[in-house]
């Protein structure tokens, strides 16, 4: 009996330790309302973080760390305009930095240096270039020089909404050919385009967001793959890693219209499949028959 | 007499008495002579055509525009969210917008850039920085994009010269970019436990770069170009550890580097490699240089109280004064000092007794 109690206690301690390692980061606010995801279009660049709504609530660091930089809107020391408003940067173990933007003015604890996860480092506000109160959260991995999708590191949140593939079309020789099943098309090279988004599970209104990954297959072979995992700079341009070094203009045509690569169409029948996954693992699969005829 | 006129008159009387009583003991027996004070709260645009050379840009708490040395406002507008202001062109921008409109000093539209971001006008150059401070682009006055660069690290400090752009980053790097957008220097200053750039500035000839970086320790470092290479020529560990941007600027003749210390304005003589300090309360707003009499004017503020100190290179303080209000602007035009407090602009001339 005594041995069983000891064994159970040991197992409980091990599980707690493992949980701490795997889930080292916590959500920075109590009420989590995801309103924008990593990699979304921001007109001319990728969104390099996530946006969290939920009204005016206290913001905590995602893990213990050290305040290494802050900027208070209205107190300009740099002469550089910023749309992040009042923001704060915390550095964590391993050189990971987290940034919290659009904070309410005068809520940053400017005299604090070391912070724990229970400390308040600001209040959600709408300072800077913001349409309404929300927290902009970024996670920066200095060692690899990357902006990392925070949803990969934060505890998972419930979401049962599947991503939406609203439209799918080929652009060929200046014409747009909607993809239906079957789609009849001439041979040649065509660019596949789509209107794709995910819907937030947290908000009661229509709030499209970027999905987590998009893959295209022709007859089972991958022709296109994008994963919103991390962004890094390459030769002065920001690219999506693990996605064939796609830049913003390589991928986005407009907010939700994306380019999914060029496909060589040879006479005969082919199977086109598109798989879109969101951060919670919900997947939308669509399959189409392509008939390529002269 | 209405209240506004009365307050201007009282302010002028106060200044006359104050400046005459507290004549700074410079070697040339200079006096500060108040010339005029203008309430900018409700400026009426002047109908007289003012030559461009006579006017200069100004800004107050929520207002900006162009004013002549005689106090005639050529143009004024309320600041939307921020304003990029140059001698003959400005861009008044809102928090969120899809385009940037540039106007001349008469308020006529001269250019429209269809891009998001915020404009910066400096040394005759036009830049747009993204709202998240991760992208910077230069444009010409024909709306052509000259170059752009994107980063994963935020730009924490920026200095623009006629031929270069110097940037400091959250990841601790410093980058110097030439006029074509090419990186000519990329460096990480001496390592500290925390690597962040808190301030950077370049001399006008781009031969020297000053950087304040790091925590534990925080340092000021001077880098000089020798034989096409930039080498460190001076490093000093600082007693303060600012975790925000700090004021850092070369003097007009590039001899002195001014930077913020704890309740002080510090200066580094780049030739002698010596450091000095002047006590100055609060945030350093501006250091202006008066050429004829070789005087520096430093303006600082904390909690709606401002301090102005007049000193010579070497640190000898000739005059200091504190005054309430929101001081927003300090500038020299020839021998006239112009500063704005609580939307009132005051001109003070320096004259030999």
**pLDDT tens digits, A74-100:** 877 677 889 999 999 999 998 899 999
Under 8 Å between Cβ of B77 and B69: no
Taking residues A160-168, what's their average pLDDT? 93
Residue B108: per-residue pLDDT: 95
| Spans of chain B, pLDDT less than 70 | 1-28, 42-53
Give the residue from A199, A82, A90 showing the smallest Cα distance to B243: A90
Sheet holding B63-68, edge to edge: B55-59, B63-68, B73-78
Residue A243: per-residue pLDDT: 87
Q: How far apart are CA A232 and CA A250, in angstroms?
A: 15
Place of tokens 């000193």: B311
Give the residue from A89, A85, A88 showing the smallest Cα distance to A75: A85
Tokens representing residue B290 in the block:
């008066």
Place of tokens 């001698």: B87
> A254 CB near a chain B CB, below 8 Å?
no
To the nearest whole number, what is the mean pLDDT of chain A? Answer: 89
Residue of B nearest to A72 (CA): B244
**Partner-chain residue, chosen from A45, A67, A130, that has the shortest CB–CB distance to B130:** A45
Residue A17: per-residue pLDDT: 39
pLDDT above 90 covers what percent of chain A?
74
A34-48, A167-181, B248-262, B283-297: which range is least confident on average? Answer: B283-297
Chain B residues interacting with chain A (CB cutoff of 8 angstroms): 82, 84, 93, 95-96, 98, 115-116, 118, 120, 129-135, 148-158, 170-172, 181, 194-196, 198-199, 215, 243-247, 260, 283
Taking residues A140-157, what's their average pLDDT? 92
Residue of B nearest to A48 (CA): B152
Residues of B in contact with A75 (CB under 8 A): 283
Under 8 Å between Cβ of A78 and B164: no
Residue B32: per-residue pLDDT: 83
> A166 CB near a chain B CB, below 8 Å?
no
Asked if B150 and A238 come within 8 Å (Cβ–Cβ), the reply is yes
- Of residues A169 and B328, the one with the higher pLDDT is A169
Residue A195: per-residue pLDDT: 95
Residues of A in contact with B245 (CB under 8 A): 71, 77-78, 80
Asked if A130 and B157 come within 8 Å (Cβ–Cβ), the reply is no
Asked if B132 and A43 come within 8 Å (Cβ–Cβ), the reply is no
**Partner-chain residue, chosen from A84, A113, A233, that has the shortest CB–CB distance to B132:** A84
Residue A158: per-residue pLDDT: 86
Residues of B in contact with A147 (CB under 8 A): 152
Q: How far apart are CA A257 and CA A171, in angstroms?
A: 13
- B326, B329, B332, B337: CA torsion to nearest 10: -20
Place of tokens 């980058």: B175
Asked if A84 and B156 come within 8 Å (Cβ–Cβ), the reply is no
Does the pLDDT at position A20 exceed 50? no
Work out the number of other CB atoms within 10 angstroms of the CB of residue A189. Answer: 11
Classify burial at B28, counting beta carbons within 10 Å of its beta carbon; exposed 0-12, middle 13-18, buried 19 or more.
exposed
Asked if A79 and B133 come within 8 Å (Cβ–Cβ), the reply is no
Which residues are CB-contacts of A132 (< 8 A; sequence separation ≥ 6)? Answer: A53, A126
> A71 CB near a chain B CB, below 8 Å?
yes
3-class SS of residue A258: strand
Work out the number of other CB atoms within 10 angstroms of the CB of residue B352. Answer: 11
CA distances from B79 to A124, B58, B63, B68, B100 (A): 25, 12, 5, 20, 14
**Partner-chain residue, chosen from A44, A67, A131, that has the shortest CB–CB distance to B96:** A131
Residue A149: per-residue pLDDT: 96
3-class SS of residue A128: coil
Asked if A44 and B116 come within 8 Å (Cβ–Cβ), the reply is yes
Which residues are CB-contacts of A8 (< 8 A; sequence separation ≥ 6)? Answer: none
CA distances from B105 to A48, A273, B90, B110 (A): 37, 58, 7, 10
Residue B319: per-residue pLDDT: 84
Q: What is the pTM of this model?
A: 0.89
Q: How many CB pairs under 8 A join A and B?
A: 116
Q: How far apart are CA B206 and CA B149, in angstroms?
A: 20
Residue of A nearest to B156 (CA): A78
Tokens representing residue A193 in the block:
């385009």
Asked if B170 and A69 come within 8 Å (Cβ–Cβ), the reply is yes
Q: Do β-strands A257-265 and A268-277 pair in parallel, antiparallel, or remain unpaired? A: unpaired
Tokens representing residue A91 in the block:
């550095």
Highest mean pLDDT among A80-84, A116-120, A205-209: A116-120
Q: How far apart are CA B74 and CA B47, in angstroms?
A: 8
Asked if B196 and A69 come within 8 Å (Cβ–Cβ), the reply is yes
Residue A219, preceding bond cis, omega within 30 degrees? no
Residues of A in contact with B100 (CB under 8 A): none
Please count the CA atoms within 13 angstroms of the CA of B178 that sit on its side-chain side: 6
The pLDDT-based confidence of A14 (bands split at 50, 70, 90) is very low
Residue B63, preceding bond cis, omega within 30 degrees? no
Asked if B150 and A233 come within 8 Å (Cβ–Cβ), the reply is yes
The pLDDT-based confidence of A294 (bands split at 50, 70, 90) is confident
Asked if B246 and A99 come within 8 Å (Cβ–Cβ), the reply is no
3-class SS of residue A13: helix
Q: How far apart are CA A186 and CA A293, in angstroms?
A: 5
- Of residues A192 and A2, the one with the higher pLDDT is A192
Rounded to a whole number, what is the distance in Å from the CA of B240 to chain A's nearest CA? 13
Asked if B131 and A44 come within 8 Å (Cβ–Cβ), the reply is no
Residue of A nearest to B122 (CA): A79
Give the residue from B101, B156, B153 showing the smallest Cα distance to B128: B101
- Best of B114, B196, B211, B244 to disrupt the A interface by mutation (most A CBs within 10 Å)? B244
Asked if A82 and B133 come within 8 Å (Cβ–Cβ), the reply is yes
In sequence order, what are the beta bridge partners of A177?
A170
Residue B286: per-residue pLDDT: 83
Under 8 Å between Cβ of B94 and B65: no
Residues of A in contact with B134 (CB under 8 A): 45, 48, 238
CA distances from B252 to A164, A293, B142, B202, B299 (A): 59, 73, 30, 11, 17
> A236 CB near a chain B CB, below 8 Å?
yes
Taking residues A143-154, what's their average pLDDT? 93
3-class SS of residue A83: coil
> A45 CB near a chain B CB, below 8 Å?
yes
Residue of A nearest to B155 (CA): A80
Q: Which letter, b or e, does each residue of B176-214 get, where b requires 16 or more Cβ atoms within 10 Å of its Cβ?
A: bbeeebeeebeeebeebebbbbbbbbbbeebebbbbbbb
- Best of B180, B243, B285 to disrupt the A interface by mutation (most A CBs within 10 Å)? B243
Residue A11: per-residue pLDDT: 52
Residue B322: per-residue pLDDT: 87
Asked if B152 and A128 come within 8 Å (Cβ–Cβ), the reply is no
3-class SS of residue B48: coil
Helical (H) or strand (E) element with A232: strand A230-234
Asked if A237 and B150 come within 8 Å (Cβ–Cβ), the reply is yes
| Tens digits of residue pLDDT in A242-256 | 888 999 999 999 889
Please count the CA atoms within 13 angstroms of the CA of B163 that sit on its side-chain side: 6
Tokens representing residue A58 in the block:
């206290």
A130-144, A221-235, B45-59, B216-230: which range is least confident on average? Answer: B45-59
Residue B334: per-residue pLDDT: 80
The pLDDT-based confidence of A275 (bands split at 50, 70, 90) is very high
Residue B43: per-residue pLDDT: 60
In sequence order, what are the beta bridge partners of B202?
B209
Asked if A80 and B153 come within 8 Å (Cβ–Cβ), the reply is no
Q: How far apart are CA B115 and CA A44, in angstroms?
A: 8
Taking residues A120-136, what's their average pLDDT? 95
Residue A1: per-residue pLDDT: 60
Q: How far apart are CA B160 and CA B168, in angstroms?
A: 12
């Amino acid at each position: 009996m005594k041995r069983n109690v000891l064994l159970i206690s040991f197992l409980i301690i091990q599980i707690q330790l493992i949980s701490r390692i795997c889930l080292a980061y916590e959500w920075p606010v109590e009420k989590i309302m995801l309103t924008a995801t990593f990699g979304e279009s921001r007109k001319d660049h990728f969104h390099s973080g996530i946006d969290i709504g939920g009204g005016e609530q206290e913001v905590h660091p995602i893990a213990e760390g050290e305040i290494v930089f802050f900027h208070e809107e209205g107190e300009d020391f740099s002469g550089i305009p910023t749309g992040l408003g009042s923001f704060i940067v915390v550095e964590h173990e391993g050189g990971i930095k987290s940034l919290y933007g659009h904070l309410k003015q005068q809520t940053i604890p400017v005299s604090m240096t070391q912070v724990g996860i229970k400390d308040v480092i600001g209040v959600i506000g709408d300072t800077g270039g913001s349409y309404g109160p929300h927290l902009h959260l970024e996670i920066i991995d200095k060692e690899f020089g990357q902006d990392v999708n925070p949803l990969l590191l934060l505890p998972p949140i419930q979401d049962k909404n599947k991503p939406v593939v609203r439209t799918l079309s080929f652009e060929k020789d200046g014409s747009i050919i909607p993809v239906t099943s079957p789609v009849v098309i001439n041979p040649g090279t065509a660019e596949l385009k789509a209107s794709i988004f995910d819907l937030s599970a947290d908000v009661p209104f229509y709030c499209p967001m970027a999905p987590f990954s998009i893959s295209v297959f022709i007859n089972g072979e991958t022709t296109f793959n994008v994963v919103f995992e991390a962004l890094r700079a390459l030769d002065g341009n920001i690219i999506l890693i693990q996605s064939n070094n796609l830049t913003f203009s390589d991928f986005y045509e407009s907010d939700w219209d994306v380019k999914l690569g060029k496909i060589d169409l040879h006479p005969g029948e082919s199977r086109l499949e598109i798989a879109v996954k969101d951060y919670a693992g919900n997947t939308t699969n669509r399959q189409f028959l392509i008939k390529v005829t002269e | 007499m209405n209240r506004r006129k009365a307050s201007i008159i009282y302010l002028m009387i106060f200044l006359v008495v104050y400046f005459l009583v507290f004549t700074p003991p410079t070697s040339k027996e200079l006096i500060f002579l108040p010339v005029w004070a203008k309430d900018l709260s409700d400026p009426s645009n002047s109908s007289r055509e003012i030559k461009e050379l006579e006017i200069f840009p100004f800004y107050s708490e929520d207002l900006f525009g162009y004013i002549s040395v005689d106090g005639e406002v050529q143009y004024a507008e309320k600041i939307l969210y921020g304003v990029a202001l140059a001698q003959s062109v400005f861009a008044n921008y809102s928090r969120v917008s899809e385009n940037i409109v540039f106007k001349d000093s008469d308020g006529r539209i001269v250019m429209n850039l269809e891009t998001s971001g915020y404009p910066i006008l400096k040394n005759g150059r036009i830049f747009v920085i993204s709202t998240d401070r991760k992208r910077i682009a230069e444009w010409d006055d024909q709306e052509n994009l000259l170059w752009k660069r994107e980063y994963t690290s935020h730009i924490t400090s920026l200095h623009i010269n006629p031929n270069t752009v110097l940037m400091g980053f959250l990841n601790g790097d410093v980058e110097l970019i030439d006029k074509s957008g090419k990186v000519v220097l990329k460096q990480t200053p001496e390592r500290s436990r925390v690597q962040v750039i808190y301030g950077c500035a370049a001399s006008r000839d781009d031969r020297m770069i000053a950087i304040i970086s790091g925590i534990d320790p925080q340092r000021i470092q001077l880098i000089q170009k020798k034989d096409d290479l930039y080498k460190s020529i001076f490093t000093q560990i600082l007693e303060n550890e600012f975790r925000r941007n700090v004021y850092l600027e070369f003097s007009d003749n590039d001899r002195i580097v001014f930077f913020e210390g704890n309740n002080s304005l510090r200066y580094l003589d780049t030739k002698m490699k010596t450091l000095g300090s002047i006590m100055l309360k609060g945030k350093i707003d501006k250091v202006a240089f008066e050429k004829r009499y070789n005087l520096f004017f430093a303006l600082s503020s904390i909690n709606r109280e401002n301090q102005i100190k007049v000193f010579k290179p070497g640190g000898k303080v000739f005059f200091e004064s504190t005054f309430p209000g929101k001081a927003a602007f300090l500038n020299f035009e020839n021998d006239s000092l112009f500063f704005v407090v609580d939307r009132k602009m005051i001109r003070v001339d320096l004259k030999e007794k």
